[in-house]
Structure 1
Amino acid sequence: MADESVLRTVDVSRESGYSVQQVRDLERLGVVPAAARSSNGYRAYAPVHVRALRAYRGLAGAIGPVAARQLMAELWTRTVAEAAAAINAVHAGLAREREEVVRAQQALWAIESEAAHHDAAEGGDTVDDTMTITELAAALGVRTSTLRFWEREGLVAPDRVTSLRARRYDPSAIGAARIVAALRGSGYGIPAVRDIIDSLHSLEEGAGTERARHILLKRLDDIAARSVQLLRAGADLAATLDSLTRDGARA
């Protein structure tokens, strides 16, 4: 298929896997640039539209359709350097999500060890020492208001040790916050998270840990699947950036 080819809507539908109506809707939403119009008024697409739709499919699998639509629409208004940076940020975001789930697993192991030996485990969150609310929010990628909400809901219990009663999070609270963040990221509501956190801190052997361990492993599998979707979109995203270069965008 040569770059000079003119494609009908039905051709783009067949090549991209989207229905004719979906192709039109995604064009209207800015996922692909507006098609040219032939002399008789019909849409005249190009191969770049097909590649952009395929790239969108992979992005939607990696970060969700809403975020993917926003990113694809923005790519057409950015320089090549800006567009490449936006795509790199998606990769970095997935890597950060995985890192936080691994840290949550380490926190879970520490809690299990403490319950079994009645002593704090070495490693895991012990290396974090204490954190302020601002530091912990930045580490988890959440707002400070989110941490305050978790505190009100009984999910995380910081200490207040300064003269201004400012929050300080010890390793135990940091570990709980990491687990809460991972569970919330997996789609669990506050009541379910509270139930798991409460059971983790009970002294009943194995209480809650198996459920939490299963959720975290499933979360890692989900992130891995989303990463694969992003990798599959790579060639089509590269073709999209090439089109920006051909259209005169400057890095």
Structure 2
Amino acid sequence: MAERAGGVRGAGPMRTVDVAGESGYSVQQVRDLERLGVIPPAARSANGYRSYTAFHVHALRAYRGLAAAAGPVEARRMLAGLRTGTLAGAAAAVGGVHVRLAREREEALRALAAVHAIRAEPGARGIDGDGDGAGAGDSDGDAMTITELAGALGVRTSALRFWEQEGLVLPERVTSLRARRYGPPAIAAARIVAALRSCGYGVPAVREVMGSLAGPGGLAEAERVLGLRLERITARTVALLHAGSDLAAVIAAAGDAAVGAS
């Protein structure tokens, strides 16, 4: 395949050590990634030595960006598809990663906005890590039943029970029949969980944010955790952008192969 993107020095057959130097991987990692199918098998010379091309370098660089953006397992699956699929399918697959990252960023921004709004409310002081015990002595008139809270949040009562089971929102049990009662701190926590879930956060990610509420920073710590999540999404996006020219080379190879087979 003719070289479609810049950055690979030299032309013709390349040794394993050359590919390692160009891709940023070690010699052993190049061999391991070849074994895993990240790159196609190298040609073998008469004496058994591996012989690579510039395409192998592009594929390895593309894998680095994809692995950072979508995870190594997904990156391996995608690269195999990019090499064997159609040009349109390959372009759509890469575009899909960009779309997922944009959606994750939007979800994190909405969740952060929800925490900002809840933090500004007086009723949030009990979970804001100020240590003043606000909410501990609230009157029963400030509490809500599980049915009332579910209605206020627009969720099912089964969702609140599930959140309790997962340790995300813990109600106060104050009646002789142990009916659930939620004071202002628990109500504020439930609102955060509802906001995170509506933004697409899974239970592990919600637990990470809610766990930060128990620390000294309270809601400020939750904001920090969400801010770190945004930074990670940005880093993954930048890694994918850096891999752009190498991904283009891999996708172009799929197009060349399709034309050659027709």
Whether 2:143 is the aligned partner of 1:130: answer no
Whether 2:208 is the aligned partner of 1:221: answer no
- Are the aligned partners of 1:12 and 1:50 in contact in 2 as well (CA < 8 Å)? yes
* One-letter identity of the residue aligned with 2:154: T
User: Residue 155 of structure 1 corresponds to which residue in structure 2?
Assistant: 168
| C-alpha displacement of 1:32 | 0.8
Whether 2:22 is the aligned partner of 1:15: answer yes
- Any unmatched runs of 5+ in structure 2? 4-10, 126-152, 171-186
Determine the C-alpha separation between the residues in 2 that align with 1:116 and 1:33.
Answer: 59
- Are the aligned partners of 2:116 and 2:223 in contact in 1 as well (CA < 8 Å)? no
Determine the C-alpha separation between the residues in 2 that align with 1:151 and 1:54.
Answer: 45
Deviations 1:60-103 (A, max 9, x none): 22223232223223322322222211111111111111111111
| C-alpha displacement of 1:113 | 2.8
Q: Could you tell me the percent identity over the aligned residues?
A: 50
* One-letter identity of the residue aligned with 1:64: G
- Are the aligned partners of 2:124 and 2:188 in contact in 1 as well (CA < 8 Å)? no
| C-alpha displacement of 1:156 | 5.2
Deviations 1:175-233 (A, max 9, x none): 42344738944xx8x4x65444578xxxxxx9611111111111111111111111001
User: Residue 194 of structure 2 corresponds to which residue in structure 1?
Assistant: 177
Determine the C-alpha separation between the residues in 2 that align with 1:233 and 1:184.
Answer: 29
Following superposition of structure 1 onto structure 2, how do residues 50-199 of structure 1 map, counting pairs within 5 Å?
50-115=57-122, 130=154, 150-155=163-168, 173=190, 175-179=192-196, 181=201, 184-185=204-205, 190=207, 193-196=209-212
| C-alpha displacement of 1:27 | 0.8
Determine the C-alpha separation between the residues in 1 that align with 2:191 and 2:123.
Answer: 20
* One-letter identity of the residue aligned with 1:74: G
Determine the C-alpha separation between the residues in 2 that align with 1:211 and 1:183.
Answer: 18
* One-letter identity of the residue aligned with 2:29: Q
Determine the C-alpha separation between the residues in 2 that align with 1:178 and 1:48.
Answer: 45
User: Residue 177 of structure 2 corresponds to which residue in structure 1?
Assistant: none
- Are the aligned partners of 2:14 and 2:53 in contact in 1 as well (CA < 8 Å)? yes
User: Residue 237 of structure 1 corresponds to which residue in structure 2?
Assistant: 247
Determine the C-alpha separation between the residues in 1 that align with 2:202 and 2:217.
Answer: 18
User: TM-score scaled to structure 2, two decimals?
Assistant: 0.66
Rg larger in structure: 2
User: TM-score scaled to structure 1, two decimals?
Assistant: 0.69
Whether 2:258 is the aligned partner of 1:248: answer yes
CA change 1:183–1:151 in 2 (3 A) is closer
34, 38, 60: which one pairs with 2:45? 38
| C-alpha displacement of 1:173 | 4.8
* One-letter identity of the residue aligned with 1:248: A
Runs of 4+ in structure 1 over 3 Å off: 129-133, 147-151, 170-175, 177-180, 182-185, 192-199
Determine the C-alpha separation between the residues in 2 that align with 1:106 and 1:184.
Answer: 20
* One-letter identity of the residue aligned with 1:176: V
Q: Considering only aligned residues, what root-mean-square deviation do their CA atoms show, in Å?
A: 3.6
Worse overlay, 241-250 or 212-221:
241-250
- Are the aligned partners of 2:38 and 2:76 in contact in 1 as well (CA < 8 Å)? yes
| C-alpha displacement of 1:117 | 8.9
